[in-house]
Amino acid sequence: MTLLAATIIGNARGAPPSTGQSSTGQSSPGPTYTNPLNATLADPDVIRVGETYYLYATSLTSLGYYCWTSPDLVHWTRVEDPCFARDHDTWGEDLFWAPCVISQGGKYYMYYSCRGPVGGDRKSIRICAAVSDSPAGPFKEVAAPLFDIGKATIDAQVFIDADGKAYLYYSLDISENGKSETFVLPLAENLTSIAPNAKPSLCVTPSQKWEGTGWNEAPYVLKWKDRYILFYSARVFSDPLYAVGYATASSPLGPWEKSTENPILKRTGRVSGPGHNTVALSPDGKEMFIVYHTHIRLDGGGDRELSIDRMTISESGGKISVKVAGPTRTPQPMPSCAK
């Protein structure tokens, strides 16, 4: 695990953010980018290794996952071969969704959901784990399923705290459970099994009007100073009103309090269904970006593409405030120190 400098802890993602402005409060002129970026995918997850960003996403739902690389968070190149692909020995058969990758001890751990046999003729979706010596793969299945609570589980995300303890956040698949809620489970030190005697703790459940009635999914957790921020998405992924909210807690296990500012990333006249985010820092570590997908069509649907926008975190009166300068469709300054 790598600390996000003095105040932020995440999945090996870099250094602390700033407002992304000069001392005069104005962004410096220069090269720009415009959303959406050059990648058709869904459910993005990003890590940085050396000077290279690696992105993993829902991309080969019947086979596994592709990986993309970038020097600057804007220009992405897809690695030719899948970074993970099922074979006759893997548990998962299809519905490969929403991978998350972390680096630890010189290895790379992927957590992902897929569908496989769970008894008799029944198949269901579970979260699995795979390991690689390279961020570009190939990843090899090591725990499938990683755990089984008798319910369909999706959208794995692993957070490692400053004390080295690891936590797996995940959501229930509404198609089998009737409601999609987000939970957390402590991981064992090996990162490929659940901690002994650990039981799921509820993080968030649909409770705010903008969320509709069924979905709280796509968790992503980071630490800011002494607080934890849980980002999540609500409504079905194909809905134009799919959007991002957040909750805060003083412990990675909660209890979590949803922000009254929600949603912080939502539909506009030019953008449909922004959601399922991760967070990454600019190449110089001075700016924070929310990385997310949007619908290709304004009426929603399953076809999605990549976007990034600047994000800031502040605190006033003991309350954390997260602000996103987006979703944008106009030219934006390139991430700071991007080449």
Beta-carbon contacts of 258 under 8 Å, excluding residues fewer than 6 positions away, are 204, 207, 208, 245, 246, 247
CA distances from 185 to 89, 169, 177, 252, 328 (A): 27, 7, 18, 10, 35
- Which tokens belong to 158? 């692993």
- Which tokens belong to 7? 């105040």
Using a cut of 0.85, tell me whether the model's pTM lies above it.
Answer: yes
**In angstroms, rounded to a whole number, what is the distance separating the alpha carbons of residues 34 and 155?**
28
pLDDT tens series, the chain, 339 aa = 333 333 354 443 333 333 333 333 444 568 999 999 999 999 999 999 999 999 999 999 999 999 999 999 999 999 999 999 999 999 999 999 999 999 999 999 999 999 999 988 999 999 999 999 999 999 999 999 999 999 999 999 999 999 999 999 999 999 899 999 999 999 999 999 999 999 999 999 999 999 998 999 999 999 999 999 999 999 999 999 999 999 999 999 999 999 999 999 999 999 999 999 999 999 999 999 999 999 999 999 999 999 999 999 999 988 999 999 999 999 999 999 865
pLDDT of residue 213: 87
Three-state DSSP class for 174? helix
Q: Tokens 């959601």 map to which residue?
A: 275
Q: Tokens 């997260």 map to which residue?
A: 322
pLDDT of residue 30: 85
Q: Are 203 and 246 in contact (CB under 8 A)?
A: no
pLDDT of residue 237: 95
Domains belonging to the chain, first-starting first, are: 3-333 (2.115.10.20)
Write phi, then psi, for 111 (nearest 5 degrees). -120, 130
